[in-house]
Each structure stands twice: as structure tokens, then as C-alpha cells.
Structure 1
Amino acid sequence: MLLRHVPFLKSVFIYSFTAFGGPQGHMGMMVKTFVQKRKDVTEDELLEYNAFCQMLPGPSSTQTVTLIAMKRGGIPLACITLLLWVFPAALIMGLFSFLIYFFTPGAIHGHKNIPTDLFAYIQPMSVGFVCYAAARMMGSSIKHVATTSIMIGSILATVLFRSPWVFPCLLLVSGTLSNFSNKRIPGSQQKPKRINWINLWLFALLFVGAGVVSELSRSQGWSHGRIYNLFENFYRFGAIVFGGGQALLPMMYYQFVSMPIQHHATTVLSAEQLLTGFGMVQAVPGPVFSVCSYVGGIAMSGDGPMWQMIGCIVATTAVFLPSTLLLFFFFPIYENLKHHVIIFRALEGINAAIVGIIWASGIVLFQSIQFEWSNLVVVAITFCLLYFSKIPSPLIVVGWLLMGLTLHH
């Protein structure tokens, strides 16, 4: 049965190599690939999936593409899609954890041996993808004064209050506001989906079990015990982090750099190594959470190459596992609930808020780039190519990579 999904999986694999710009940039790619080109989902469904994933901890763009696959072929296809989406970025960041030791200390701090010219236009290109996603979604979600007001309010709130908690708060407020209208009612009631409780039990058992095993390995001085600590650390991060991959940085800094110093212990990795990894992941396609592959590799590097590779795999698996289990458990519940009038009306406000959040993300991302007219031109050209032409997204990405290498060499 999976053979009929090969074209879809091929598109996911190509998407995983070309999706730059973090969760917001990924949305532009998803619209282009899975809505317009393949028609796996409608724009409304994509917005709804993304809004639902914003309410859960973990990587929202990863969860969204997993839901698209789940709609097509159930949990088996969703798991294969998740592996295809995560693998390229995790492999690149894992290899980078090996390569970093071949750089001189000066190169680590100054990125002298990393071909940054190649990625010169990637950030402004990502802003173009963000603007394209927001513009496309406005057509289906912003239909009257109320949704326009929610969108504008969401833009202002996201730009002014740059906290991970602003996203769930905006979704809650927007869903409440859109309930004041009594004109909209849901369509025909669908048959409730079966809820698989095993996913929630597995999530809880792993959370508790990882903590117990991690503490035993620490207190009893197990050989290579740090690998058990890493699984617990990253599983916990994946279970509680809201706000995307950027919210991981303060968590990992406290866990691996600050806390060991406070307890007069050896740090797992230096602040410079951590920040170098976060700088590199911005230039890598795929989920920002793939930085965990790099951190896991660095953390186990003192135990030899084989354990360093195991560290990459364990950290990556642990950080994506809890959010995936929660997604598989909560989405059927959400599917059952959304046919109730209150939830149905709330979706209109939530979708409008998501459009505002995406616009705001484009603004924030552009503000983080050094202002140059050339960057503004890259944003405009990328937007126009996506909106007015049929050039595939991967070719646009490759074009800007080559342009950066040519003009900055």
C-alpha cells in the first residue's frame, strides 16, 4: 500500500533539502508543495493543522508535515514522512559535530572555514517565503472586519512581545473572540475517530523511565552513562518546549553550560560550541530542532567516534519522540471536538491569528538581517517568483545559493 505514496514521499524528501527559514519559512514551502502543486491538503486544512500544532510542545513545522502524511496514509506513512523530513538536517548537523574539531579555534569563533558566502541570500529568501505563505493564506482566512482585526492584533502582539507564550495566548484569545458570532455552524457531524490511548501511556512511561534511568546512571557511575542523561535531557526538552527551535537555546545553555559550572562540574560543551551550532543550523534546510544532533554529538565526542555518532542519533530521536506521541494522541481528540459549534467558530479566529503570526515572523526575521537594499530586493524577487510564476521552490533555493556564492566569492 505504501507504493502508491512514493510520489508523496519523494516530494517530502525534496522538501526536506530545500525548506530554509525555520517554521515560518517552511509554511511557504508547504503551501507551494503540498497545497498548490500536489493538492494533498487545502489551504484551510494546512492552516488548521498548523494552528493545532502551535498548541502542542515541540517543532510545529515537523508536526504539520506529519499530519499531512497522516491524512494521506495514517500513522505508518506519518512515521516514514517524519524520518524523511528529519534525516537530512540531522545528518548535516551530526556531521558538523565531527567537522568542528578539524577547525582551528579561530575558525570556530570566526567561521573562517565555513562557506558562509553560499548562504548570503538564504535569510532574505526565507522572508520572501514567509510573505508568500501569509499572502496566500489571507485569501482563505481573512474575509471580514473581525478576522482582519484579529490578524492585525496578532501581528502587533507577536512583534512587540517576543515570547514563546505569545502563540498559545493569541490562539486562545482569537478563538474566544470569533465565538461571539452566532452565524456560523459546523457541517454534518462526522463519525468520531477512535482515540489510541497507548500513545499517551507511552509518552508518560518514557518520561518517567528516562528520568529514573538517567539518575541511576549518574549516581552509580555507569560506563558511558552520559548517553542515558542525554536521552532524558532531550526527551524533556521535546516534551515542554513551546515556540520552536529558538526556544531550545536557553534550555540547552542552562542544562549543558551554565548548570555544570554552578555545580563545579565539567561542562558538556562550551558556550562557543553551542552558539556555533545554532549559527550553522540557520543555514541548514529542515527543522531547527536538528541542532540537537550536533549537541548530542559534541556531548559524546570524548568517548570516541562511535559514541559520538550514537549521541547524534539518541539526541535527535529523544527530542522528536515526545511531540510525535502527543500529536498522535491529541489529534483524533481534536478531530472529534472541532465539529462542536464552539470549536468550529473558534477555528475562524485561530486561522486569522496564524496568518498574523506568519506576517509578524517575516517582519521579525527581516529585522534580524543587516539592512541592505540588496536583501530587500531578494525578498521582493522571491515573493514575486513564488506568487506569479510556476518555478519550483527547490530551483529558487538553488538559484539564491549559487547567486550568493558567485557575487560574494
Structure 2
Amino acid sequence: MSDTPSALPIAADRGTAGEVFRAFLRLGISAFGGPVAHLGYFRTEFVIRRRWIDEDSYADLLALCHFLPGPASSQLGFLLGVQRAGLSGGIAAWLGFTLPSALLMVLFAFSVTGLHGPVASGLLHGLKLTAVAVVAQAVWGMAHNLAPDRPRAAIALAAMVLSLVGGAFSLPLIAILVGGLLGIMMRLSPGLPSATLGRLPVRPGGGIFALILFALIFAATWLPQSGQTRLALFGLFYHAGALVFGGGHVVLPLLQKTLVLPGWIGNQAFLAGYGFAQAVPGPLFTFAAYLGAVIAPGGARLAGAAIALIGIFLPGLLLVYGVLPFWEGLRRHNSTRAAMAGANAAVVGILGAALYTPVWTSAVLSPADAACAAAGFMALVRWRMPPWTLVLLLPLVGAVEGGWSHL
């Protein structure tokens, strides 16, 4: 028998939440490399090895996750769990894939507040330079994939200008909406796959309930909150998770505008955590656990981490669960494809603006910093080094430089 995915039989339709949790916990511990690598891990594990789903259905679920805001790899993992064991399987998949990196980010939050002195400052500065290289790589790759022609490049440029000229939180959202409208006007198409899903594990009624719940929470947390409370913290992360198109890196400008500018967290601590997030396995959105632990209204760090983590993941999971029963009909409309193409092009511009500020302006303070950032970018793009290697090298360079300057 051939060992190609299409030739092998699909496993039994239903499994258990425990089985799903164990499978995704293994990936949560070992899946380094970022969202694109995660998609490859999922395909190898669940399409080829375990045969939980066929190749065409996998591609269709992936298209849905790219169409909606939220972390695509985590959303896809959640849907794979739903396909295997229902809603409890989806929750088990999210927990297994998310908890290892979330715990590492919380541990880093506990340690970073105790770092002092020139060597410690050098370490943190090295993490900030790592963020420069990683975000630059993300902009480079996304521009190639999401803005490959003149119309979409123009949308990306307009979104970047719009994001740079203003500091309001709503500007990235406006840029995405305008990008979607321009995509419809230009009749763009991202070329969604033509595959069809088999038996759907979510009924229309369950999908509608999830969408209503998403909207109710969004509206309730949109109301202004007085002070830095836990409810306000949850609302900030929920809105960020609800408005992020294009993957984990795009959450950076949204969180920077909502957390750094109002004074919830300093820019150095913000970028240090983002740099460290490149070294851990699992989803990049667990950066939220670090931020919640550092901010921690009332000093309860574990509670702050949990609130931020649930807040940023919940909207994306509700959306994919809610839209799944209707995806087959929705994706056939040309306007849906065009809006998706325009919105994704705008995302490239938003991330490009974030690369300049706050990432570049706060991290690159000297010609030596520029050289380190450029070398890190080349290592990622041309030499294909994994991001975690930069997390080891650039902070080490920063620590040596910081110690040397005070001898």
C-alpha cells in the first residue's frame, strides 16, 4: 500500500478528549519554529501519521483559520480537536498545545523583574534586537505571500502610512477594514482551496451561539473601564485577539498601542518578553501570559497571566467554532475572497509600521545595534536559522557588551 496521505485509511471518526490532549501536549513541548512550522507539524501528525483527517479537509480548515482573525495555528489545532472529539476535544487541543509555552513565559516574567545591572540590561537589549530581526523576517515573508502584486502592495503601503501617522488603537482596525473594501473594489482573490469538509462536528445552532457570545463579550468589554483592573485587562487582550489578522506577529502593534502607550508596561519589558517568546515552543500568542504576569493588577501574577491568556485566545476560538458550519457556503463568494486578500495585504503594512516603531526605534540605538539586527535578519532569512538560536546569541552579545562597558 502507498504511504501517501490520500492512500491511507482515515482513523475512526471519534476519539476522546484525553487522547487529543496527549497528542497536542507532545506538540506543545516540541513544536518550535513559529506558526508556519506548526502547520507542518500538524499535517505530519494528524494527516499523515494519526490519520484523524484527510488532506483536503485539512486544507479547508486551514483556509478558514486564515480567513478569520486570531492565531491561525492555534485555531487550526482547536478545530482538529473539535473534529476528533467535539468541543471538549477542541479545548483539550488548545490546552495541550498552549500550556507548555505559557508556563515558560510566566516563569520568564517572574525572573525578568529581578534582573538588574549592566549585564542584565545587556541581556534585555539583546532580546529587543532579536525582536527586530524576527519582525523584519515576518514582514519580508508576509509581503512576499500576501502582497505579491501592485494592487496589494499599494494596499500594504497605504496601511503602513495610516498606522504610522496616528497613534490611536483603532487605526490598525480601520486599515484592515479599508483593505478589505479595496480588495472587493479591485476584485482581488487569494485563491482559497476548493476542497470540501466532510461531516461537520458543529451544528448551525452551536455556531450561532458561539458568534453571539463573541459579539456580546466584545461589546461588554468595549465599554471604558476605570483604572487598571482585571476586567480592563481582559478587555484589552480580548479586543487584540479579535482584531488580529495575519498571525502572531501582527499582535505586536495592537498590544503595543494598548499596553505600552497608556503605561501598563514599559517598552523595554514589552520587547524583552516578545524576544523571549521566539525561544519557546508552541503558539506566539502565549506572549500574553508574560504580559499579564508582568502587569498583574493587584499583584496576582498567575491570575493576570491566566486572564490575559484566555482573553487573547478566546475570540479567535469562538469565531472559528461559530463560522465552521457556514464556511462551505461563505467561501464560495468572490467578495469573501477579495475582502480576505485586501485585508491580508493591509496586515503587511501594519506589521511594517510596527517594525519601525516601536521595534526598531526602541532597540536600535547605535551602528553596532543595527549591525546585530541586520545579521540576525540575514541568519533567519538566508541561512534559515531557527529564531530560538537568536534568542541565545543576541542576548549573550548584549550581556558581554554591557559587562565590558562597565569594566
Smaller-chain TM-score bracket: 0.5 to 0.7
Matched residues in 1 for 2:396 and 2:171: separation?
37
- Once the two structures are superposed, the pairs formed by residues 295-374 of structure 1 within 5 Å of their partners are 295-296=295-296, 299-300=298-299, 311-335=300-324, 336=327, 337-364=330-357, 365-374=359-368
Contact 1:70/1:78 (CA < 8 Å) preserved in 2? yes
Matched residues in 2 for 1:356 and 1:48: separation?
22
Deviation at 1:379, TM superposition (A): 1.9
Choose the corresponding residue for 1:396, options 365, 381, 390.
390
What 5-or-longer segments of structure 2 have no aligned partner? 1-18, 45-54, 83-89, 222-227, 244-252, 278-286
Residue in 2 that maps onto 1:34: 38
Matched residues in 1 for 2:27 and 2:352: separation?
28
Matched residues in 2 for 1:37 and 1:373: separation?
38
Matched residues in 2 for 1:43 and 1:160: separation?
38
- Once the two structures are superposed, the pairs formed by residues 3-402 of structure 1 within 5 Å of their partners are 3-5=22-24, 8-12=27-31, 29-31=34-36, 33-34=37-38, 49=65, 52-53=68-69, 63-74=71-82, 75=90, 76-94=92-110, 99=114, 111-112=116-117, 115-182=120-187, 184=189, 188=194, 190-191=196-197, 194=203, 195-196=206-207, 231-240=230-239, 244-249=254-259, 275=265, 279-284=268-273, 285-286=276-277, 287-288=287-288, 290-296=290-296, 299-300=298-299, 311-335=300-324, 336=327, 337-364=330-357, 365-402=359-396
Identity of counterpart residues, as a percentage? Answer: 15
* Secondary structure of residue in 2 paired with 1:125: helix
Residue in 2 that maps onto 1:269: none
C-alpha change, 1:293 and 1:334, in structure 2 (3 Å) is same
Matched residues in 2 for 1:189 and 1:36: separation?
18
Contact 2:121/2:402 (CA < 8 Å) preserved in 1? no
* Secondary structure of residue in 2 paired with 1:127: helix
Residue in 2 that maps onto 1:406: 400
What 5-or-longer segments of structure 1 have no aligned partner? 16-28, 54-59, 101-110, 211-228, 254-273, 301-310
Contact 1:207/1:235 (CA < 8 Å) preserved in 2? no
Q: Could you tell me the TM-score, scaled by structure 1's length? A: 0.66
* Secondary structure of residue in 2 paired with 1:391: coil
Q: CA RMSD in A?
A: 4.1
Give the letter aligned to residue 52 of structure 1: L
C-alpha change, 1:244 and 1:158, in structure 2 (3 Å) is closer
Deviation at 1:334, TM superposition (A): 4.2
Matched residues in 2 for 1:331 and 1:351: separation?
17
Matched residues in 2 for 1:47 and 1:374: separation?
42
Give the letter aligned to residue 293 of structure 2: S
Matched residues in 2 for 1:166 and 1:197: separation?
29
Matched residues in 1 for 2:214 and 2:65: separation?
21
Matched residues in 2 for 1:134 and 1:282: separation?
17
C-alpha change, 1:343 and 1:87, in structure 2 (3 Å) is same
C-alpha change, 1:49 and 1:360, in structure 2 (3 Å) is farther
Number of residue pairs aligned between Structure 1 and Structure 2: 328
The worse-fitting range, judged by mean Cα deviation, of 81-90 and 281-290 is 281-290
Contact 1:176/1:346 (CA < 8 Å) preserved in 2? yes
Deviation at 1:357, TM superposition (A): 1.7
Contact 1:93/1:281 (CA < 8 Å) preserved in 2? no
Deviation at 1:82, TM superposition (A): 2.5
Matched residues in 1 for 2:378 and 2:59: separation?
19
Give the letter aligned to residue 332 of structure 1: Y
Give the letter aligned to residue 317 of structure 2: F
Give the letter aligned to residue 249 of structure 1: L
* Secondary structure of residue in 1 paired with 2:369: helix
